[in-house]
Amino acid sequence: MPNPLPLVIVDAANVVGSVPDGWWRDRRGAAERLRDSLVPYASDGLPGTPGPVDLVLVVEGRARDVAPVPGVRVEAAPGSGDDLIAELAAGAAAEAAPR
């Protein structure tokens, strides 16, 4: 059964890399902190959305072994995170009810 929730895909590398807080010393830890900060948005929705969203965090490189948590699905890119994001978006667009 298709997921009826709006899909939000987050590129972990781009988000954690946008703040010079030392993330490069612990890429996995930075991705885990980002993942944990996304949990409330999965159930409450993003600003401007009416409710819950299907939240996917795409990780790559040294952050590939970040585990999912309730509300945030984690997808490890075998190569480029951008390629996996494009694949996930194309798959969602091809669903019977695009989201």
Q: How deeply is 1 buried, as exposed, middle or buried, from its count of CB atoms within 10 A (0-12, 13-18, 19+)?
A: exposed
Q: Domain for residue 1, yes or no?
A: no
Whether 58 is covered by a domain: the verdict is: yes
Q: How many domains does the chain have?
A: 1
pLDDT at res. 21 = 85
Contact 99, 92 (CB under 8 A): yes
DSSP bridge partners of 59 = 76
Q: What pTM did the predictor assign?
A: 0.88
Residue 2 lies in a domain: no
Whether 9 shows a pLDDT value over 70: the answer reads yes
Over residues 15-40, the mean pLDDT reads 91
User: Which structural domain range is residue 59 located in?
Assistant: 7-93
Res. 13: pLDDT tops 80: yes
99 falls within a domain? no
pLDDT one-digit tens code per residue, 32-83? 999 999 998 888 777 776 778 899 999 999 999 999 999 999 999 999 999 9
